Amino acid sequence: MSQNQIIRPSLSQPVFPLNIGCVNEVFPGFALGDFAVLEGSSSVYSLASLLCVRAQLPSQLGGLKSNVIFVDGANTFRFYQIAELARIHHLNPKKVLDNIYISRAFTAYQATYILIHQLKEAIKKYNAKLVIISDIAGFFLDKDIPEDEAQRIYSQVITYLSNFARETQTIIIATYPQHPNTARNNDLQSSTCTRASVILSLRKTSCSRQFVLKKHPYLLLGVSEMPQNNLTLMDFAEANA
């Protein structure tokens, strides 16, 4: 089930679709300047892999013809999955992997430095229109970091990313997988949702999988459902390649 879209402003036309079946009816795609969040089940990591590949397609095929910057905060970069997705899309797996520039962080402070102090230069150096940030809040949930300090720094990071995406007309997509239901996680997730321009949630039910558009600046919010049938995002990619 999906809801109709309202008329989109001419300056915010989607340029980077997911191209996953009926999901397009609810969410036609990301626009330049979006700070988007993919939240929910662990499928967000597979979806991030899919976007890393599709970003390298020409615009005629729904891509950005762009390199990708991947800030890996959860050790979730999936080499073999991306190589397989590249083959499905008739791309050279080695070339696709070579065009993804990975920066790994191991603490909240390292992640903050990468995002606030190194991202701008990396965008220019690697000519990237897409940035993927894996598990954006993960390090800030570390109990070794005082809660007030974690919230303060995290707020600075997501405020910076929101402004950066808009000012540079870069698409920034952060994954926010499920974490334990704690007060700190709820606060960080709330802060993320406040600053994000687009929020797409992936949910699993007993009989279906749902893609939920939870926030968007000009589209009506809606839900796309598809049968479970043990399908994976790899299947979706193959069906739409």
- pLDDT above 80: residue 9: no
Percent of the chain with pLDDT over 70: 88
CB 77 within 8 A of CB 132: no
pLDDT of residue 4: 44
Asked if residue 227 has pLDDT above 90, the reply is no
With a cut of 60, say whether residue 239 has pLDDT above it.
no
**Residue 5: its pLDDT value, please?**
43
Q: What is the pLDDT of residue 71?
A: 96
pLDDT digits (tens, 9 = 90+) for 115-147: 999 999 999 999 999 999 999 999 999 999 999
Cβ count within 10 A of residue 15: 17
Tell whether pTM > 0.85: yes
pLDDT for position 233: 59
pLDDT at 192: 95
* Percent of the chain's residues with pLDDT above 90: 71
Helices (H), 6-118: 23-26, 43-54, 79-88, 93-98, 108-113
The topology (CATH level 3) of 10-240 is Rossmann fold (3.40.50)
Q: How many CB atoms lie within 10 A of CB 60?
A: 7
pLDDT band of residue 7 (cuts 50, 70, 90) is very low
Count CB-CB contacts under 10 A for residue 57.
20
Whole-angstrom distance, CA of residue 240 vs CA of residue 68: 21
Residue 22: per-residue pLDDT: 76
Residue 236: band (very low, low, confident or very high) from pLDDT cuts 50, 70, 90: low
DSSP bridge pairs for 169: none
Chain segment 19-38, per-residue pLDDT in tens: 887 788 899 999 999 999 99
Average pLDDT of 99-121?
Answer: 95
pLDDT tens, residue by residue, 43-95: 899 999 999 999 999 999 999 999 999 999 878 899 999 999 999 999 999 99
Contacts (Cβ under 8 Å, ≥6 apart) of 104: 72, 73, 75
The domain ranges of the chain are: 10-240
